[in-house]
Structure 1
């Protein structure tokens, strides 16, 4: 019977049908190890199973009755111990074929008879030390993995909180803009939806932009900041129902740079990705692909894809929505105006995405108008007609 080793010595199992060989090996290891013995393969398997928790090494003879050493290796492999307990094979066969077969079976080392005590002690000690080192490294790796996993989970939680805070900051600040601009509270939701939809088509149709779903999500959230600078524009200009003078239009145009000044004041409380996209979109959503936009006269791909997406979304929503200075165009009319270049020059790739996304964007618009009508009805007790496209 095998008993658990409770002392400081490591335990090794000697498996050999020759009692003389076992005695020789016991004499070599008696001062350093607790010794277990088995005189055949079947008894060895029983001892290995019982002693697996504290067994440090197995010295296994190849030629034995009933079950030879290779058969024992097969059984050890079945219970997945060959990598956990070093096996040192004992053999009188010094051929390279036998040695190769041993190593192919996963043994740690091979000892040839007759025994040289120095060589035997070195091989067994080295095998045990290598296993202990491997276990130590595995334990360290597992500990580090657990720590990294816990840190990653903590970072994910922090990222979610930060993302939620960013969204709340953007939503609350931009609500102020909507109140001042007398726009529907659903305007920013539509811009968000339009940017998300268009971004998805850019991702699928034009991989050269390198967009990811995460980036599209941040762009869509940050797009709400595009008109933050309008809170600095006087009401007499911002809410003027008629045509603006040249000077008044210059003041309106300044909402892009003034908005950037406001966003800079939020830098300390915003995630860097949100800050970068918010700043870029606020400043450049009125740039045009042919260079005729403002404030910096950027041209072509000098304009970020985030600003291009927001600029197109903003113009489309402006066309199909009622404003103090204009009635709403039908969706078909607005679509044609953009595609035909009546609202400035857009990136041809983005126009292709706009064509593909038309139905999805129109459905998103109708959905928000329905919600807006339901909200008005709940607040005022009366119906508020929502916009429907003529042919969609």
Structure 2
């Protein structure tokens, strides 16, 4: 790109660097540094022209504020945007002593980042970032999405096998999503077509793919974690979303959007007491709300000894007892799908008996 500004992305996370590069490479030349020392070497030696820096605050050994201190001591003046998962008052106050150009929050919002940096460098006519699904996929787009899903499935299944788990829960959540979305469409609340429902349902399969980024022992220690361990465990939501966003293909953009959203927000609660962002009510997407409901329903129902109306009602009542967890509208939607859901679980039971 002739005369394009060059940005230096400084982050110890390769995934986060890849995501930012995918977002920004249409407008900017990109250089990368995996730590503060590497960034200082690039900036101070001036072998490569750097017009601006995206600087992660939280890095081992030499964090973002240490880098700012060194740049300030050496009177190096360059536009710097701080990248953080915690744009807290303390961080904002601490950053005020430096002439930074702003903050970018994790998880990344592509369009916001493009607009912020375009304004900073006076760039007009920026390309749109990946947007929501607006029209049906053609054959090429469907093929590329299906290929991506196939590759992700192979990776995730291999991971689960390595930790002595299977993907049956993920498969059931995916099917429950399909059943719920069909019923939701019939209610007239949305205009999802068959292909939309297929892709959203397949995306729900990967809701916990971020577990690949946390220590295995924490996955089997859910009830007895320390505060620090729970914080690490809960980070699987952000890790999953960022992993899905590594694919920047326009042909996969609908799958990437809904899948990353469900990875990020399937642990939110309707009352706003969930994580990672404490989204309340309709601030969380319909897809992520239904995904969270499907996960919880399956976890409870699969423990039942019999697949009957009585057991179904028992689980529905358990879901309703935790009043703030789910939207009453969606628990009612789940109840309306009783017949198809029971048929599905009975089919699974028959298949298991036949296999035995």
1:262: which partner in 2? 243
Cα offsets for 1:97-124 (capped at 9, x unmatched): xxxxxxxxxxxxxxxxxxxxxxxxxxxx
CA offset at residue 168 of structure 1?
0.8
TM-score (norm 1): 0.50
1:218: which partner in 2? 199
Question: Which whole-Å CA distance do the structure 1 matches of 2:313 and 2:224 have between them?
Answer: 25
Which of structures 1 and 2 has the bigger CA Rg? Answer: 1
Asked if structure 2 preserves the Cα contact closer than 8 Å seen for 1:190 and 1:364, the reply is no
Equivalent residues in 2 for 1:188-267, closer than 5 Å = 188-205=170-187, 207-240=188-221, 243-267=224-248
Asked if structure 1 preserves the Cα contact closer than 8 Å seen for 2:141 and 2:251, the reply is no
Question: Which whole-Å CA distance do the structure 2 matches of 1:297 and 1:309 have between them?
Answer: 16
Equivalent residues in 2 for 1:139-218, closer than 5 Å = 156-180=138-162, 182-205=164-187, 207-218=188-199
CA offset at residue 219 of structure 1?
0.8
Question: Which whole-Å CA distance do the structure 2 matches of 1:193 and 1:277 have between them?
Answer: 16
**Which segment drifts farther, 249-258 or 357-366?**
357-366
Question: Which whole-Å CA distance do the structure 2 matches of 1:315 and 1:350 have between them?
Answer: 13
Question: Which whole-Å CA distance do the structure 1 matches of 2:227 and 2:347 have between them?
Answer: 37
Asked if structure 2 preserves the Cα contact closer than 8 Å seen for 1:320 and 1:331, the reply is yes
CA offset at residue 242 of structure 1?
5.1
Asked if structure 2 preserves the Cα contact closer than 8 Å seen for 1:186 and 1:368, the reply is no
| CA distance 1:253–1:159, shift in 2 (3 Å) | same
Match of 2:327 among 319, 327, 347: 347
| CA distance 1:156–1:208, shift in 2 (3 Å) | closer
Asked if structure 2 preserves the Cα contact closer than 8 Å seen for 1:174 and 1:224, the reply is no
Cα offsets for 1:329-355 (capped at 9, x unmatched): 95443222113326x421121111111
Q: Is 2:356 the counterpart of 1:358? A: no
Asked if structure 2 preserves the Cα contact closer than 8 Å seen for 1:170 and 1:222, the reply is no
CA offset at residue 372 of structure 1?
3.9
Question: Which whole-Å CA distance do the structure 2 matches of 1:369 and 1:174 have between them?
Answer: 24
CA offset at residue 160 of structure 1?
3.9
Asked if structure 1 preserves the Cα contact closer than 8 Å seen for 2:210 and 2:238, the reply is yes
Higher RCO (CA-CA < 8 Å; seq separation 6+):
2
Equivalent residues in 2 for 1:42-121, closer than 5 Å = none
Cα offsets for 1:39-75 (capped at 9, x unmatched): xxxxxxxxxxxxxxxxxxxxxxxxxxxxxxxxxxxxx
Asked if structure 2 preserves the Cα contact closer than 8 Å seen for 1:289 and 1:347, the reply is yes
TM-score (norm 2): 0.54
Asked if structure 2 preserves the Cα contact closer than 8 Å seen for 1:290 and 1:299, the reply is yes
Cα offsets for 1:352-378 (capped at 9, x unmatched): 111111232232123224334544x3x
Structure 1 regions of 5+ residues with no counterpart?
1-154, 323-328, 378-392
Question: Which whole-Å CA distance do the structure 2 matches of 1:181 and 1:203 have between them?
Answer: 37
| CA distance 1:179–1:286, shift in 2 (3 Å) | same
2:278: which partner in 1? 297
2:292: which partner in 1? 311
